Amino acid sequence: MALTLRSSTSFLSPKDTIGLKTPNHHELFSSSSICFGQTKPIRAKNNSIIQATTHHQISHETVFTSVENKHHHAFTSSSPHATKHDTRVPVFVMLPLDTVGHGGHLNKPRAMNASLMALKSAGVEGIMVDAWWGLVEKEGPLKYNWEGYAELVQMAQKLGLKLQVVMSFHQCGGNVGDSCSIPLPPWVLEEISKNPDIVYTDRSGRRNPEYISLGCDAMPILRGRTPIQVYSDFMRSFRDRFSDYLGDVVVEVQVGMGPCGELRYPSYPESNGTWRFPGIGEFQCYDKYMRASLQASALGIGKKDWGKSGPHDTAKYSQFPEESEFFKRDGTWNTDYGQFFLEWYSKKLLAHGDDILAAAQGVFRGTGAKLSGKIAGIHWHYNTRSHAAELTAGYYNTRHQDGYLPIAQMFGRHDAVFNFTCMEMKDGEQPEHANCSPEGLVRQVKRATKLARVELAGENALERYDSSAFGQVLNTSRSDSGNALCAFTYLRMNKRLFEPENWRNLVEFVRNMSEGGRHKRICEEFDFSGSELYVGLVKANSVNKAKEAALV
């Protein structure tokens, strides 16, 4: 099975946008249950009873600091100045996408509390949650509801867990692994129905409603406000509501900058069969705002014809580089025109990220919360000359061009952590025809962030529970080939994570990360035979409550 990344949502055809309806406010999510197995004590080989998941302090002055003063950064600059002994990496765990429901309340709080107690007992540093634009500001412009998130923050504080909160300005639903649907706010969807050009558009005229097009970042298209202003107001509201927790409980704010929260174009939408792995994707530059920018750039260098449209010789979403004149080995990408277009396309994306991070820095400066942003791990066709799949996503990374150093440098200007995915992937797991190299891509990003003196954090791209994936993350967390990781966020907490073997793998992984990989396998020290699950800090009544409650 090919290991791919979470991809963008489905397109709307031009005619679909005419009567675009807002979602039903009373729509409810469906959810499943998590259960803890019957717990048994774990015995060491000498038969003495031990608590295998006793909480380990995860702290090191150059990797992660426990925040005593709310005005201190959550992360210190481990990567640029790390010594050979600085190898500890704090582990966070992503919560379910529907942690806060459509009604604005925390879903299944009893089960959530029991689950967080289990994570705490395993030595996990904290959790990550999406703060959905489509939930918080759904009642109208500047009308915010943070109550469900307040419940979660207070729960985390009581348990001694830290929080990474994602400012999620994209739609949830239609992506790999998405278990629920959270569209953009209804009042935003109304504006899209009036002016479909404010969302990304491909060359066939299909619209993608997952995220507002960066082409109109400076246009007052959202009832008198620009998208950047709307994002700034949202973040300011969050800051004001949680000012007492920033830098102490809420240690990181990850700023969403595109589809799936990643700084990229929605070039590979998987829903409805639009794109299939390992297709190269398509450029997303055909809304009127992006076309106007392209025309202006072409006129600026005296090449009017270059600004009439995007490249005419690219292939379709699911095709391969060699099926396109633009992306083939010595194709148009490697000509003066190709260089002009790719520089314009990628610089627009960089400017978008720069503007949003500048706004976020202005909002959160002095709060003690660290900023971060996410970059997609587009590893397919990495071993080709053109790196076509990266190009359509907006990363100008080819055989001759480093596309990640400019992004890292931009992150550095705002003191933001560079968060990267696919840390768990191995080259040997990928299909040969896809020309993948997730390991080569991770090495390149590690070198780029080290050169830019930017902190690097990681995530797994897909839900993996096996020791092989955890071992790969442990290997890539080190500084052997560039930057070491300052933190790792595991995707994701659900009932499968608490299955006996998966849970043991997680406990072992967290311990290895917190102790710098000095303990290769917990199973070498402890006998897990006959044990389904043991959670050191979860009392028996908490386990019973978890059996009764539901959470995914």
Dihedral angle over CA of 160, 115, 492, 452, nearest 10: 10
Closest among 160, 162, 182, 161 to 256, alpha carbons compared: 182
Q: Which of 125, 210, 262, 424 is catalytic?
A: 262
C-alpha to C-alpha distance for 370 and 457, rounded to whole angstroms:
12
Q: Establish whether 421 is an annotated binding residue.
A: yes
C-alpha to C-alpha distance for 43 and 523, rounded to whole angstroms:
11
Tell me how far the alpha carbon of residue 53 is from its chain's centroid. Answer: 27
Q: Establish whether 305 is an annotated binding residue.
A: no
Contact of 482 with 447, CB cutoff 8 Å: yes
Q: Establish whether 374 is an annotated binding residue.
A: yes
Q: Establish whether 419 is an annotated binding residue.
A: no
Tokens describing residue 376: 């997609």
Would you call 459 a catalytic residue per the annotation?
yes
Tokens describing residue 545: 């409550």
Q: Establish whether 170 is an annotated binding residue.
A: yes
Strands 526-527 and 42-44, sheet pairing: antiparallel
Closest among 303, 399, 409 to 350, alpha carbons compared: 409
Q: Establish whether 130 is an annotated binding residue.
A: yes
Angle at 184 between CA 288 and CA 195, to 5 degrees: 25
Q: Which of 151, 459, 499, 508 is catalytic?
A: 459
Spell out the SS3 assignment of 286-355.
CCHHHHHHHHHHHHHCCCHHHHCCCCCCCCCCCCCHHHCCCCCCCCHHHCHHHHHHHHHHHHHHHHHHHH
Q: Is residue 366 packed enough to be buried (19+ CB in 10 Å), middle (13-18) or exposed (0-12)?
A: exposed
Residue 74 per-residue DSSP state: S
C-alpha to C-alpha distance for 334 and 357, rounded to whole angstroms:
31
The residues facing 501 across adjacent strands are: none
Cα dist. 63→421, 446, 488 in Å? 19, 16, 11
Closest among 328, 208, 180, 350 to 268, alpha carbons compared: 208
Cα dist. 299→217, 287, 339, 393, 475 in Å? 21, 19, 16, 24, 49
In the chain, the N- to C-terminal Cα span, in Å, equals 24
Contact of 456 with 489, CB cutoff 8 Å: no
Closest among 460, 448, 489, 514 to 87, alpha carbons compared: 514
Q: Establish whether 60 is an annotated binding residue.
A: no
Would you call 439 a catalytic residue per the annotation?
no
Tokens describing residue 463: 């839900």
Q: Establish whether 461 is an annotated binding residue.
A: yes
Q: Establish whether 519 is an annotated binding residue.
A: no
Contact of 470 with 424, CB cutoff 8 Å: yes
At 367 the three-state DSSP class reads: coil
At 458 the three-state DSSP class reads: strand
Residue 269 per-residue DSSP state: B
Would you please indicate which residues are annotated as catalytic (active-site) residues? Answer: 262, 459
Which residues sit in the known binding site? 130, 170, 178, 374, 379, 421, 460-461, 492
Which residues sit in the known binding site for substrate? 130, 170, 178, 374, 379, 421, 460-461, 492
